[in-house]
Structure 1
Amino acid sequence: MSRKRKLTPEERELWSRVAASAEAMHKPKKAETEPESDSLPALSAPKKPRFDLRDFRIGENRTDLSFRHDLAPSIAEHLARQPVAMDRKKHREMTRGKIEPEAKIDLHGMTLAQAHPELIHFVLSAQDRGCRLVLVITGKGKRGLDEGPIPQRQGVLRHQVPHWLRLPPLGAVVMQVSEAHLKHGGSGAYYVYLRRTR
């Protein structure tokens, strides 16, 4: 702790000349006079200026990003990231729509409870008949009212079918799943390439 010492007459005169040459940044509330004590003036941090805030509502200037709410990767991106388990040349031809599917099923308008057993029956019977490429049509789904804080996905069947095709009993039968070419339904349908029966 430092001791306060009294100013000498020379120091007091020097201080008064410095103080007279300086301009105050803010007008003082009270007229400041010579320091009451003979000690050195204490240095204080300058006061922050106050800003007048106008009335505002949170989010009033935000941009509308409601079309970007789906943070999960799209089905097409997810399927494209999967490794190719079949012949690459055949896979390229299949995704370009150059191979005609040997059988197809349309799950349009079905509920999840109706579509799941239909899909299992269709894929297993197609493999028994010796089919290699089948087409599963799900439709793109309808966009419903999305008023909640959590966005709803469009097309429940479209999102669920690839998952079902990886689970038993279809997981052992299905070799590759990819989004169909536009001429076979585009994003509303899937190519399902089946394993050979032994």
Structure 2
Amino acid sequence: MAKKKLNSLDALQSVSFGEKKKKRPKHERVVEKVRERLGLVDEEKEPSSAKDNTPRAEPDDEHMFFSAMQGVAPLDESQGRQIAPESAPPAPAPSSIDEDAKEYLDKFVRGEVDFELEFTEEYMHGYVKGLDAKTFNQLKAGTLSHEGHLDLHGMNAEQAYDAMVFFLKESYLQGRRCVLLVTGRGINSPGGQGILRRSVQNWLTREPLKRVVLAFCTARAADGGAGALYVLLRKQRKSQGKIHWDRSAFFSD
């Protein structure tokens, strides 16, 4: 078929061209997509009765956002998932070591300090239960140098007690750790036994001295042998205020 030749303006106007579909503004497309995702799109859309060919200004982002949010209701907090607050971790159970230390400290405050004791004619010792074995062995070996000494020769029991309490009190308060007590062997005593040796052991393990004494033992021959004692004192602590140094309340022969 031969193409029809257009020779005049009237013929050109009589030709009907297919009307080109106009593209929708950008903001309308964005709003529609947002509303589709939120499930807010109307099921039936009324067709526009008339087309408005007037050019429209592009809205800003804020206007587009509020347009998309029309009809959106806030969540009801009562219907939300409840999240329980995190509970604090349970406190660790005290170990047996902690319990033993607390028990020992309580006994010390009450004056209930237990000693392991041994006594013979030639040797005696005593030490607080729980004392480090290495420390006690050093005391017995004489490797802990004594920082002072007291000679009780020629004293009766009451004089010896007063002198020993005063000497050990001052040594403790001055921070001395190891001292030497010379009691004598008591060879010339009735029965050939040293009365002071037995009394000294009792005094060291009773109030007030048991609060400051950690251990004692017979000295080496060079330091007096069976007639002398090494005494290991505690480090000075706040508990010193609880120590009663009054001789009359605690003296015993």
Query: TM (normalized to structure 1)?
Result: 0.54
Whether the 8 Å CA contact 2:189–2:195 is kept in 1: the answer is no
Alpha-carbon offset, residue 175 of structure 1: 0.8
Matching of residues 29-48 of structure 1 within 5 Å? none
User: C-alpha distance in 1, partners of 2:152/2:215?
Assistant: 19
Say whether 1:87 aligns with 2:126.
no
- What is aligned with 1:123? 168
Say whether 1:174 aligns with 2:213.
yes
Matching of residues 4-153 of structure 1 within 5 Å? 74=120, 79=125, 85-144=130-189, 152=191
Q: Which amino acid aligns with 2:204?
A: L
**Which has the higher Rg, Structure 1 or Structure 2?**
2
User: C-alpha distance in 1, partners of 2:197/2:153?
Assistant: 10
Higher helix share: 2
Residue deviations 1:62-99, cap 9 Å, x none?
xxxxxxxxxx961666527x566433223222211222
Residue deviations 1:15-55, cap 9 Å, x none?
xxxxxxxxxxxxxxxxxxxxxxxxxxxxxxxxxxxxxxxxx
Alpha-carbon offset, residue 180 of structure 1: 1.0
5+ residue gaps, structure 2: 1-117, 238-253
RMSD (Å) for aligned C-alpha atoms: 2.3
Q: Using CA pairs below 8 Å that are at least 6 residues apart, which structure has the higher relative contact order?
A: 1
CA 94–83 in structure 1, closer or farther in 2 if over 3 Å, else same: same
- What is aligned with 1:35? none
Q: Which amino acid aligns with 2:171?
A: A
174, 193, 196: which one aligns with 1:157: 196
